[in-house]
Structure 1
């Protein structure tokens, strides 16, 4: 009995350590930087509403070098995604089936993904406009203003990178590990949602609240469906619309999106 208790405590410590390390090299680090960024923004003389947060800016003034940097950044940002799938694999079972990150149900995943786009994506755009008018969000520049032949494909890849990072790590992996640690359903959903909101704090308090709400909806759906793929689909579509459609939105609604 004593040995079993010691093994259980050791296993819990190892799982918490693993979670800390994974988040420390991925979205947990982004959350810390976002908190510091928000403090910096709020302590400036310029009002938050008059500040700008750039998501996909150019990384070089030379096109070939900018493309190289963009692709390298996307590739290395996806390494933690591969890492959590590997960690789930060595702990037993097929990690893709374990979190529902596969193509066994393409039609259902696509349909659920589009449903989430309507439920979360459309209200999210409206909320962003409201936060901007109230002064609780910086102006989010979702895509670079100087375009090249590779701009749209890179933005689509950047949207996929964000979808995979957030849904596979924050939902698929984290939910699995926190379940193993014995946390309750809503403790997991709310904890993951707050994490999701925290690494968006660099945009302001408004986007934090919006992303927490998105995290609650996504977390509840994952708990119910047991599949991360619909979340990836929805997130990818939302970010493609945000990244690629930004110049169009800026031209039509300069006050809200500028």
Structure 2
């Protein structure tokens, strides 16, 4: 089947595309997370006495564990490549709202993922600076929210890193942090928000949908994680709509996860008892 790029994609085609991309990535995670929180709430122990382990070991054999970790990181990025590919299929100029125009002919080098998501290296200094600022703005209040959730008993005990104490643990945790950031920010913010705007959704509904999806696939950690990530989703969504750049969000998310993952792996465990 051939696709005539001179014709705009119908709302039905775009809607199905969005559902498929989410079904292969974080939409699927949200469904599993909802089932997990139901299982936790109906378990014999209270939610606060249960543990949610991130970056868990996959095998007692170190070389096999490393192989599984790298495969998991690599394959988790496939939906990102799919989302970028689908946006690149629509290589059209952007309108004044930053959306791919529906009536112009495709133009080589214009439109697509680069313009829709800001995936380029034109402003590395600004991207890094904004990323660091966003990480600080989200990270510090986020710690307070986790502390409150832990004391209210509405969160499971979060173990950010469950890898063995081996030479490759820290590099893998850094790669996992970057993978999480790229997957979530490109798919849930850049791709999803762009497509929902093209489908005619109002800005408020677009931001709310992206934020609630972000919170829902963290629900397995508890309700504090849901609220905290949903608030983060609102902030990131507003930033993206204003800047049309996803790279600062990737930087911010990577920094947050690196601090959590690597910090937990290297610092004494009693520092994290409040989690």
**TM bucket, shorter chain:** over 0.9
Rounded Cα–Cα distance in structure 2 between residues aligned with 1:250 and 1:183: 47
Residues 47/16 of structure 1: CA separation in 2 closer, same or farther (3 Å cut)? same
TM-score for the superposition, normalised by structure 1: 0.93
1:96 positional shift: 2.2
Rounded Cα–Cα distance in structure 1 between residues aligned with 2:171 and 2:144: 26
Rounded Cα–Cα distance in structure 2 between residues aligned with 1:230 and 1:194: 21
User: What residue in structure 1 maps to residue 79 of structure 2?
Assistant: 80
Contact 2:89 2:112 in 1 (8 A): no
1:148 positional shift: 0.9
User: What residue in structure 2 maps to residue 60 of structure 1?
Assistant: 59
Report the secondary structure of 1:102's partner residue.
coil
Rounded Cα–Cα distance in structure 2 between residues aligned with 1:45 and 1:161: 34
Q: Deviations over 1:121-156 (max 9, x none)?
A: 111122112111110100111101521110000000
2:129 pairs with 111, 121, 126, which one? 111
Contact 2:58 2:68 in 1 (8 A): yes
TM-score for the superposition, normalised by structure 2: 0.88
User: What residue in structure 1 maps to residue 105 of structure 2?
Assistant: none
Residues 178/166 of structure 1: CA separation in 2 closer, same or farther (3 Å cut)? same
1:116 positional shift: 0.5
Task: Give the count of matched residue pairs.
Answer: 250
1:246 positional shift: 1.4
Rounded Cα–Cα distance in structure 2 between residues aligned with 1:26 and 1:76: 10
- Asked if residue 164 in structure 1 is aligned to residue 182 in structure 2, the reply is yes
User: What residue in structure 1 maps to residue 223 of structure 2?
Assistant: 205
User: What residue in structure 2 maps to residue 14 of structure 1?
Assistant: 13
Where does 1:183-198 land on structure 2 (aligned, <5 Å)?
A: 183-198=201-216
Contact 2:264 2:272 in 1 (8 A): no
- Asked if residue 97 in structure 1 is aligned to residue 96 in structure 2, the reply is no
Q: Deviations over 1:25-80 (max 9, x none)?
A: 00000000000000000001101000000110100000000000000000100000
Contact 2:170 2:265 in 1 (8 A): no
Rounded Cα–Cα distance in structure 2 between residues aligned with 1:238 and 1:254: 16
Q: Deviations over 1:132-187 (max 9, x none)?
A: 11101001111015211100000000000000010000011011101111111111
Report the secondary structure of 2:144's partner residue.
helix
Unaligned runs of 5+ residues in structure 2 are 1-6, 92-110
- Asked if residue 178 in structure 1 is aligned to residue 223 in structure 2, the reply is no
Rounded Cα–Cα distance in structure 2 between residues aligned with 1:25 and 1:65: 25
1:15 positional shift: 0.6
What value does the CA root-mean-square deviation take over the aligned residues? 1.4
1:107 positional shift: 0.7
Unaligned runs of 5+ residues in structure 1 are 1-6
User: What residue in structure 2 maps to residue 227 of structure 1?
Assistant: 245
Rounded Cα–Cα distance in structure 2 between residues aligned with 1:239 and 1:203: 15
Report the secondary structure of 1:253's partner residue.
helix
Runs of 4+ in 1 over 2 A off after TM superposition: 247-255
